[in-house]
Structure 1
Amino acid sequence: MNTLAATAGAAGALDFRQKVLAMLGLCFVLLMVALDQTVVGTAMPTVVAELHGFDLYAWVGTSYLLTSVITVPIFGKLGDDHGRKPFVLTAIILFTAASMLCGLAQNMLELVLARALQGVGGGMLVATTFACVPDMFPETAQRLRWQVMLTAAFGLANAVGPTLGGFLTEYLGWRWVFFVNLPVGAASLWFVWRYLPAMRRAGTASKLDWQGGLLIAVLLGSMQLLVEWLPLHKPLWLMAGLGLSGLAALAGLLWWERRCPNPLLPLDMLSHRSLAPLFGLSLLLGGGMFAVMYYAPLMFQGGFGLSPNQAGLLVTPLVVCITLGSILNGRIVTRVRRPTLLLGLGLLLFAFTAGALGWVDAATAHWLVAALMAVGGLGLGLLLPNLTIFVQQSAPREQLGVATAMIQSTRMIGGMLGTALVGVFVTHRYVAGVNGLPAAPQWLGWLRDPQILLSPDTAARFEQLTTAAGINGGVLLGASRLALVDAIHLSQWLVAALAVLGLLLVRRVPHVELRDVKTKTAVIHD
């Protein structure tokens, strides 16, 4: 395939069949990444029950997000300068290989490391896949019409992901949650290699800001370790070292990015009147969304005693309604007089769901829990695409790609920090609740690790030993479940409070005019 300049003329050289098949390849890529995001949360309680190491529960998610957020801006820039197809192909191979390593992991540390490698591939895919669409379809209205194919792939992954994760975990084993990426990755690789055009911008490539990337990695890594290790009473010198390294990386990043001719993190965008509140909203949303998606299944399985399949069915309405909300948003966002009001509505709906999750218990009807999750999904469906649309509408044309990458990156950073902070809070609150139980220390030692609530075999062994000692182990397990539910309840109320706080940022978002975009479905996913 000849290398083409990414212009309207070059895009017009593609015939309809190649456009369809190229978009189909991108759909398979999105399906793979979206499936991975939706099935892993449902499987995690079972994973930690088998591999042990509940202290690394949050790391399975945050290690992926940490490496993703570092690679997104780097490969977004490389894709701009050298064309996206080689990086899409490399990312598919890396993501698929890392998925196999995740499925073969023998302990939680191996899984965390494999997820970090998978995050590199995921970040490359996020940085390059979505940018392929405007390369092929430079005109806004045409691009948004073709975007429906990606919306359909995203919707399919959301519709089947949680249920598929629960089914695979319960009947084939949790490893198949990762192995399912292998056939999808093979299909992605074939279609992208065969049909995606190799397009690149005309002109000389600018030098990549590797120094900025390294400083961002040190800053985020230090923050992540500090949040995770602070409650574990690690040595003071280690905590102080992490804090100082993070501060030094932040100071160095601010100094360097102001002087770098092609900064990886343009500081002027962070102070941009229109963009700054959108980045702040994305940060809050990432933290809240991932906290719900990772810890609601833990509450359903560890707290309520549901099976992975049952928990997956309860989470499914959330992710399905993200797609439905996005489609609804595409119908109305170009027609309403003040599109930014949709951000406020989305936050209120999501805050309602998070607050309600802090109220439900094992006796709550499943249909009601599913309905509450659906409300939150509709809220996210109004938030996720609009943040991208508003950023792309507000950013200077020459910084469009960087602004789009930053809205994705801030959501990932929020997810990374939110998942870690909620994990620390839930663990601390749960252990405090267990320590208050009227039982001998040797039995409390069993209960301090929540994985006993996720492993029927371990729970049965505990009951057998306590019964032999003349103690009702079932009562202690029930009290431990209540302690876990209480901890997750409080964490979800904090998420709801953050969502309400986001309304203050919505008020700072300037008016965005979209009524000139003529299209039936304006759905953009970030």
Structure 2
Amino acid sequence: MTIPANRPALPFTQALLAMLGISLVLMLAALDQTVIGNALPHIVADLNGFDFYAWIGTGYLLTSIVTIPIFGRMGDYYGRKPFVIAATLIFTLASLACALASDMRFLVAARALQGVGGGMLIGTAFACVPDLFPDTRQRLRWQVLLSAAFSVVNALGPSLGGFLTGYYGWRFVFYLNLPLGLLALFFAWRYLPWYRPETSKPISLDWFGALLIAITLGSLQLFVEWLPRAGAGGAVLLMGGASLGAAALLWWWERRAPAPLMPPALFAVKGLRTLFGLSVMVGSVMFALLFYMPLLFQGSYGYSPQDAGVLITPMVLSITLGAIVNSRVISRLRNPNWLPRAGFIALLLACVGLSLCGREASFGLLLGLMLLAGMGLGFILLNLTLFTQTLAERRHLGIATALLQSLRLVGGLLGTAGMGTLTTFLYRRELERSFAELDQSSALSMFSDPQVLLKAVPAGIDPQLVDAAREALTHAISVGLGGAVLIAAVSLWNLWRMSPVALFSPSGSPQSAKVAGESGMKRPEAE
């Protein structure tokens, strides 16, 4: 169905069914973000590839980062429904490929294809909301519903992933996407309206910009990953130089491209620049927690995948709770910036607690810290989206929303790659030191890969060695969490300096996008 540009407001039933279709496809991407976390340690143990641990996550994120803004832009030209349907189909087929993977390289490639579908989903589905509901208050209500659906499925993911991995094997984590993908495909096809903007402007896509983004981030990831292992050798320096060169060329090109993936008009608004930076930082912390807390809980504490799922679940479940509380409070605040500030404070305290508790923390304490982290994320994620859609011009809503989500994944890629590199390097260094003190250096090869801590320890192995390996892993991840503490602190400082975002006029009615103190500024024109 095509909706004309001057369409009337959608009836409630049609709006509900339309949002159900959007929610279902986003649930598909949301489930994959968290359901795989508890399966990751067992995937690398089964396929013998701890060196690819981070790539299972970052391969997905890298392709998502590139496709989100591309299809956010294409949705602005052609409408979003065709891309939502295509993304659901690609994601479902890629999930089948992941389930059938026989080695880590094939799995990483399949995850990259899955990231293409996931990026298309996020880049188009979230931008459907302001298309369907231009009124700020209506958009807030539906954004809360969408965020709640996204978060509920995120919350189910860890426990479901732990259950499937523990009882049926990790491949069922991917097989699960097949029936869900078909269901999402049906609802999106049947109920999601198709709004095609009436424009005579010819489409122009920034494919060269997308290539430069991929080279910049891919080279940066390899540089971060190789540097601790190989030192400042020729290949490592080549990757670092390629990343810097591509980034410089990207900066130059985006100011000259006819339809840039990162429109200069968006970055000319100070408030949007701050929000984009915050999205990168919160993404790095969130994905580091999602991918490496299961390794900590299973490898250091010795919990089963099911118990690790129970520990991760409060974080993603409380994102929903935080979003609900946020929606009840935000319209009553003179300065809505206080809500994301509170979110970063909670996230900061949770990361401090997780980095300091070592292996002595009780199950209840870990549960509480993960709950606190999720509550903080609930206050942050919804408001970053709402603030961005408030400050961006209407003609840039699609690309601004897509860019915000894409930059969150950039942070996730950098945070996951950095955490993976730091964890691997510090674990092996600490292991060498501990085993030398125990005069057991000959046993290093057996424990050089942390995946051995996820399996039943062979009979005859000295329990002291196992305990030393668990301590080494705990130390390595704790140092990485210290980096998350620093990122959360810098984010809080930047948000504190940001002018209040005016979501509503003094009478309570929606108003045009402004930041208090900047209302007299002339908004820059589009490219």
When normalised by structure 1's length, the TM-score is 0.92
- Assess if the C-alpha contact under 8 Å between 1:69 and 1:413 holds in 2: yes
Equivalent-residue separation in structure 1 for 2:98 and 2:332 (angstroms): 45
C-alpha distance in 2 between matches for 1:35 and 1:193? 20
User: Aligned-pair distance for 1:518?
Assistant: 5.9
The farther-off stretch of 25-34 and 58-67 is: 25-34
Structure 2 CA distance for aligned equivalents of residues 455 and 28 of structure 1: 36
Kindly report which structure 2 residues correspond to 1:399-414, keeping only aligned pairs within 5 A, or say none.
399-414=396-411
CA gap of 1:146–1:440, structure 2 versus 1, over 3 A, is closer
- Match of 1:108? 104
Show the counterpart of 2:490: 501
Partner deviation per Cα, 1:259-301 (whole Å, 9 max, x = no partner): 1222111234334211111111111111111111111111100
1:237 equivalent to 2:234? Answer: yes
User: 1:358–1:490: 8 Å Cα contact kept in structure 2?
Assistant: yes
Alpha-carbon contact 1:277-1:508 (below 8 Å) kept: no
Residue 198 of structure 1: CA displacement? Answer: 2.0
Structure 1 residues 268, 22: CA separation in 2 closer, same or farther (over 3 Å shift)? closer
Map of 1:524 onto structure 2: none
- How far 1:423 sits from its partner (Å)? 0.7
The aligned residue for residue 347 of structure 1 is: 344
- 1:522 is matched with none
Once the two structures are TM-superposed, the CA of residue 512 in structure 1 deviates from its matched residue by 0.9
Describe how 1:422-433 pairs up with structure 2 within 5 A.
422-433=419-430
Aligned counterpart, 1:19: 15
Which residue of 1 is the match for residue 120 of structure 2? 124
1:79 to 75, 78, 83: 75
CA distance in 1, matches of 2:74, 2:474: 45
Task: Give the one of 207, 223, 226 matched to 1:226.
Answer: 223
Hey, what's the Cα distance between the residues in 2 that align with 1:151 and 1:411?
A: 15
Contact 1:283 1:414 in 2 (8 A): yes
Query: Is 1:99–1:179's contact at 8 Å kept on the other side of the alignment?
Result: yes
Which moved further from structure 2: 396-405 or 94-103? 396-405
Deviations 1:481-522 (A, max 9, x none): 011011111111221121112122112311111244569xxx
Q: Which residue of 1 aligns with 2:332?
A: 335
Paired residues of 1:275 and 1:391 also in contact (CA < 8 A):
yes
How far does residue 138 in structure 1 lie from its aligned partner after superposition? 2.7
Structure-2 change in CA distance of 1:6 and 1:473 (3 Å): farther
Matches of 2:474 and 2:5, distance apart in 1: 52
**What is the distance in 2 between the residues matched to 1:333 and 1:17?**
26
- 1:213 — aligned with what? 210
Paired with 2:156 and 2:239, the residues of 1 have a C-alpha distance of 41
Indicate the larger mover: 94-103 or 133-142: 133-142
Name the residue aligned to 2:61. 65
What CA distance in whole angstroms lies between the structure 2 residues aligned with 1:54 and 1:75? 33
| 1:87 counterpart SS class | helix
Please tell me the root mean square deviation across aligned C-alpha atoms, in Å. 1.8
Q: Which amino acid aligns with 2:27?
A: L
CA distance in structure 2 between the partners assigned to 1:115 and 1:232 by the alignment:
25
SS in 2 for 1:63: helix
Distance 1:497 1:343, change over 3 A: same
Deviations 1:164-190 (A, max 9, x none): 111111011111111111111000111
What is the letter of the counterpart of residue 302 of structure 2?
A: G
Distance in structure 2 (CA, Å) of the matches to 1:15 and 1:400: 23
CA contact (8 A) 1:75 1:128 kept: yes
Q: CA deviation at 1:432?
A: 0.4
Report the equivalent of 2:476.
487
CA distance in structure 1 between the partners assigned to 2:232 and 2:379 by the alignment? 45
Give the Å deviation of 1:320. 0.6
Aligned position for 1:167: 163
Describe the superposition over 1:13-39 as per-residue Cα deviations: whole angstroms up to 9, x where unpaired. Answer: x55443332222212112111111111
Judge conservation of contact 1:335–1:515 (CA < 8 Å) in 2: no
Taking the aligned partners of 1:76 and 1:440, their CA distance within structure 2 comes to 56
Task: Give the Cα–Cα distance (whole angstroms) in 2 for the partners of residues 518 and 152 of structure 1.
Answer: 24
Tell me if the contact between 1:350 and 1:499 (Cα under 8 Å) persists in the aligned partners: yes
How many Å apart are 1:364 and its aligned residue? Answer: 2.3
Aligned to 2:47: 51
Aligned to 2:291: 294
Could you tell me how far apart the structure 1 residues matched to 2:257 and 2:79 are? 23
SS of 1:333's equivalent in the other structure is: helix
Contact 1:6/1:135 (CA < 8 Å) preserved in 2?
A: no
Q: State the 1:64 CA deviation.
A: 0.7
Equivalent-residue separation in structure 1 for 2:148 and 2:406 (angstroms): 23
Give 2:452's aligned residue.
452
Superposition map of 1:262-411 within 5 A:
262-411=259-408
Alpha-carbon contact 1:71-1:120 (below 8 Å) kept:
yes
Aligned to 2:515: none
Structure 2: gaps (5+ residues) = 511-527
1:179 and 2:175 are equivalent in the alignment: yes
Q: In the TM superposition, what is the alpha-carbon distance from 1:253 to its structure 2 partner?
A: 1.3
Q: Does the CA contact (< 8 Å) of 2:61 and 2:413 recur in 1?
A: yes
> What letter matches 2:455 in structure 1?
S
Q: 1:523 corresponds to which residue? A: none
Query: Which whole-Å deviations, capped at 9, do the CAs of 1:41-85 have from their partners, x for residues lacking one?
Result: 121111111111111111111111110000011011111111211
Aligned-residue identity in percent? 48
SS in 2 for 1:21: helix
Alignment check: 8 A CA contact 2:326 2:379 kept = yes
Code of the aligned partner of 1:510: S
Matched-pair contact (CA < 8 Å) for 2:140–2:327: no
Per the normalisation by structure 2, the TM-score is: 0.92
